[in-house]
Structure 1
Amino acid sequence: MTGRRVVITGIDVLAPGGVGVKQFWDQLNAGRTATRGITFFDPTPFRSRVAAEIDFDPESHGLSPQESRRMDRAAQFAVVAARGAVADSGLDVAGLDPYRVGVTVGSAVGATTGLDEEYRIVSDGGRLRLVDHGYAVPHLYDYLVPSSFAAEVAWAVGAEGPSTVVSTGCTSGIDSVGYAVELIREGAVDVMIAGSSDAPISPITMACFDAIKATTPRHDDPATASRPFDGTRNGFVLGEGAAVFVLEELGAARARGAHIYAEIAGYATRSNAYHMTGLRPDGAEMAEAIRAALDEARMNPSEIDYINAHGSGTKQNDRHETAAFKRSLGEHAYRTPVSSIKSMIGHSLGAIGSLEIAASALAMEHNVVPPTANLHTPDPECDLDYVPLTARDQLTDAVLTVGSGFGGFQSAMVLARAQRGDA
């Protein structure tokens, strides 16, 4: 290990209600929700019929008709966000050694949207037992293999170093960035284009979550359907999106005069080895990930100024997470503002971890803690400061962001100001 410090110098975001960093932050700062009734397909047969969709036109975001034809929606998101992050960073990737530039893309469900749609076509709406492949899109194989996401991003930015897809369910967005950080720290690369993308709003995904009653059946007022930490919550709202970052070694970023959003000071991931969807109420495994991330960052719990929670809006997750914060931060947990941006942009599965990293970096950039929307009736078991309804001005030098995923995955990341530790 070289001990090199890693910083974020470029960000781009595609999120429900806001494509681009400014629109994304404006929405979070305003506490404005982007959840609505599903418009992508007829949701009538499903238990949950609300989602957080992105109004996205590939051509207006720089994708050619051929690229749009070749790539699934989630891959399109990843490529657009990667190009935007590089532009935001001001980095001349073409002037770098391409073998020293790598890519990691996180995704929980890959090209679900494309596969679902193509099955509908080749099976003639499900009527054919033996499907007719002649009606399939020519690039259907790329939909099948999630590795195509990393390949598309690498081609888009000219990266010829390590290129990897990380798929750890709903922690993919944190884990992909955490893996990228380690590659820079160990000296394998100098720059990483890292983030995640998912576009899961499709009939098959809705059916899967309906089966386990994880998504909300609240249809009367979709804008208030996502209610993390609220006593009336009854499941999460499915979303979609992408966030991609340019990560660099701190010294190199400073040498070229780059704008530095934050240092990624610590990262850790753990598994509960317990249950595919269940969580222990004591939050022990998430607490352990938090402690390990703080240790790597060489920070005390009292130095955390804000917690960007997983906050999915399921009863067991919110209680588990609350217990984990108390277990890892002790009394400081009661003094630390906590919020969930899923209340505004829904839960985009593998993408949400990167979107939450972006929100954390922007909270530091603006010294503002985004709120938890729709939090009117706090659950007595969730008794921390969840910043209800309205953003809060607060000096924010260090942020903890966490993720929790089916399969028992628990991940934590600490972001801090790059000036920390300077002489």
Structure 2
Amino acid sequence: MSRSIAITAAETACALGDTLDASLATWQAGRSGLSQQEGLLAGRIADRSVLKGRRYGAASNLGVQVARRAVARAGWSEAETRNAWLFAASSRGNAGELLGSHAWRRPSRRFSASNTLHSEIAAAISIELGIRGPWQMISNGCSAGLDALGFAWMALQAGLTQRALVVAVDLPLYPELLRDFQDTRLLSTSGRNDPLSPHTSGFHPGEAGVALTLELGGQGPVVKRYAANSDAYDSLVIPEDGAPLAELLAGFEKPALLCPHATGTANHAQAEMNALRSTYPQAPPLLLLKPFTGHTLGASGLLDIALISEALRCRAMPGNLSGLTCPDSLCLDLPPKPQSVLKIASGMGGHNAAVLLTHE
């Protein structure tokens, strides 16, 4: 028997704004959060104080901040927070600490070992919020945040818990990481912020922290379904025909609106659009959020879900950034009040995830 599981609150910090409300306002105004610094067009968090602290790494500090605000918005009591399950996600974890960055953070050497662990993000949130339910740390590349939401949804569907906190964080703007992306030919070389254009040359990285509360029988946008599969194809690229992703999408009902992963890499632009064309005789309108936020890697799927769920809650879906390229047979004109939205995420190595949200 299917259980009704709702997103009851969310919080974000990203290039669009330091809070979810600020981010939604920037999106509604049709403004991108990306900015140019030192020759790199990227999405940066303006308030750097959310990254600072002596005990934890920068990504962990950000996770604690957004998690605390989401729980406060949900109105959870101390007992409800204590018993919640926690699912956290990141593709790069506290990479800045591993690379020797963040000298400005004034870290304590006593915590040097924990600061280099991905799992510190989940542990820090559990400690600081007093969560005694089990926590899990997921690192499935760029699909990590969406998978974390899916795993939380499955735990609630199974009746293992009444509520879950889902958090995703990524801070990829370090020279060493950017060089790796550049060497792998994933980073944009043209500066063109138009992910479905035939002239796109790669993605624009972005920072983000996002948290949301998921409750059995709660009030808010409903998570109707989660599913995932793998390409079993290559460690970097995905099949150009998009067949494995199309197979995954075929298991979902057709949504009123679809938010693709849309990284901006040439391979992904072709493969993901081929998957949509083969799945739908007439594809739903597409919402492209990375032109607003940058590609926030493991946080990207959950960040998009947080923005979309708040738009569904407000019953006003902002549109796409103006001037974006739309491939033939596809549409970027969004319905203002969609009843359902399907979000897709794909991780490097060939892992696909999708979540269907509805407004009921």
TM-score above 0.5, yes or no: yes
Give the corresponding residue for 1:31.
30
Match of 2:87 in 1: 104
Q: Does 1:322 align with 2:281?
A: no
Paired residues for 1:70-85 under 5 Å: 70-85=55-70
Closer, same or farther: CA 97–276 of 1 in aligned 2, 3 Å:
closer
Match of 1:163 in 2: 135
CA distance in 2, matches of 1:411, 1:76: 27
Shift of 1:3: 3.5
CA separation of 1:179/1:22 partners in 2, compared to 1, >3 Å: closer, same or farther? same
Separation in 2 of the partners of 1:377 and 1:263? Answer: 31
Deviation at 1:153, TM superposition (A): 1.1
The CA distance in 2 between the partners of 1:119 and 1:80, in whole Å, is 18
Pairing of 1:356-395 with structure 2 (within 5 A): 356-373=304-321, 375-380=323-328, 383-387=329-333, 392=334, 394-395=336-337
Q: How far apart are residue 209 of structure 1 and its match?
A: 0.3
> Per-residue deviation at 1:136?
7.5
User: How many angstroms does 1:118 deviate by?
Assistant: 4.9
Q: Distance in 2 between matches of 1:71 and 1:218?
A: 36
Q: Secondary structure of 1:243's partner?
A: strand
Tell me the TM-score normalised to structure 2 length: 0.93
Q: Tell me the distance in 2 between the aligned counterparts of 1:51 and 1:97.
A: 35
Distance verdict in 2 for CA 1:212–1:180, change over 3 Å: same
- 1:288 corresponds to: 247
Q: Does 1:397 align with 2:345?
A: no
1:187, 1:200 → 2: CA distance? 36
Q: 42, 47, 54: which is aligned to 1:56?
A: 47
SS in 2 for 1:402: strand
The equivalent of 1:308 in structure 2 is 259
The answer (yes or no) to whether the contact 2:190–2:200 under 8 Å persists in 1 is no
Matches within 5 A, 1:204-223: 204-218=176-190
- In structure 2, give the amino acid aligned to 1:264: V
Secondary structure of the equivalent of 2:179? helix
1:251-295 deviation line (CA, Å, top 9, x unaligned): xx3xxxxxx331110001111000011111221111222233x2x
The gaps in structure 2 that reach 5 residues or longer are: none
Q: Where does residue 275 of structure 1 map in the other structure?
A: 234
**Residue 17 (str. 1) matches residue 16 (str. 2):** yes
* 3-state SS of 2:173 partner: coil
Residue 118 (structure 2) pairs with residue 146 (structure 1): yes
In the alignment, structure 1 segments of 5+ residues that lack a partner are: 122-134, 220-224, 254-259, 295-299
Larger radius of gyration: 1
For residues 324-339 of structure 1, the aligned pairs below 5 Å read: 324-328=275-279, 330-333=280-283, 336-339=284-287
* Local SS of the residue matching 2:125: helix
Matched position secondary structure for 1:216: coil
- What's the Cα RMSD here? 2.2
1:234, 1:315 within 8 Å by CA — same for their partners in 2?
Answer: yes
Contact 2:8-2:212 within 8 A present in 1 as well: yes
Give the match for residue 160 of structure 2. Answer: 188
CA distance in 2, matches of 1:31, 1:137: 44
2:99 alignment partner, one of 116, 136, 160: 116
Specify the alignment match of 2:357 in structure 1: 415
**Structure 1, residues 5-60: CA drift from partner, whole Å, max 9, x if none?**
2111110011113011111111222221121223xxxx5xxxx73321111242xx
Change (3 A) 1:168 1:376: closer
Runs of 4+, deviation exceeding 6 Å: none
1:337-352, aligned counterparts within 5 Å? 337-352=285-300
- The answer to whether the 8 A contact 2:318-2:336 is kept is no
Q: Distance in 2 between matches of 1:249 and 1:137?
A: 41
TM-score w.r.t. length of structure 1: 0.79
**Per-residue CA shift, 1:210-269, capped at 9, x if unaligned?**
1011111235xxxxx32111233211100010111111101xx3xxxxxx3311100011
The count of residues paired between Structure 1 and Structure 2 equals 358
| Partner Cα separation in structure 2 for residue 280 and residue 95 of structure 1 | 47
* Whole-angstrom CA distance in 2 between matches of 1:370 and 1:15: 17
Identity of aligned residues (%): 24
Alpha-carbon shift at residue 154 of structure 1 (Å)? 1.2
Alpha carbons 2:55, 2:108 under 8 Å: kept: no
Distance, in Å, in 2 between the alignment partners of 1:376 and 1:86 is 36
Tell me how far apart the structure 1 counterparts of residues 119 and 156 of structure 2 sit (CA, whole Å): 21
Q: What is the CA-CA distance between 1:379 and the residue it aligns to?
A: 4.6
**Residue type matched to 1:289 in 2?**
L
Q: SS in structure 1 opposite 2:53?
A: helix
Alignment-mate amino acid for residue 386 of structure 1: L
Q: Which amino acid aligns with 2:199?
A: T
Question: What does residue 198 of structure 2 align with?
Answer: 231
Q: 2:267 & 2:318 partners in 1: Cα distance?
A: 23
Deviations along 1:349-405, one digit per CA (max 9) or x if unpaired, are 00111101112212322344443326444455xx41124xxxx55221111000011
How far 1:113 moved relative to its partner?
1.7
Q: Deviations over 1:71-100 (max 9, x none)?
A: 2221122111111111111121x13383x3
Cα distance between partner residues in 2 of 1:34 and 1:116: 26
Partner of 1:89: 74
Check conservation: 2:20, 2:307, Cα contact below 8 A. Answer: no
Partner Cα separation in structure 2 for residue 200 and residue 358 of structure 1: 20
In structure 2, distance between residues paired with 1:97 and 1:396 = 32
How many Å separate the matches in 1 of 2:69 and 2:303?
14
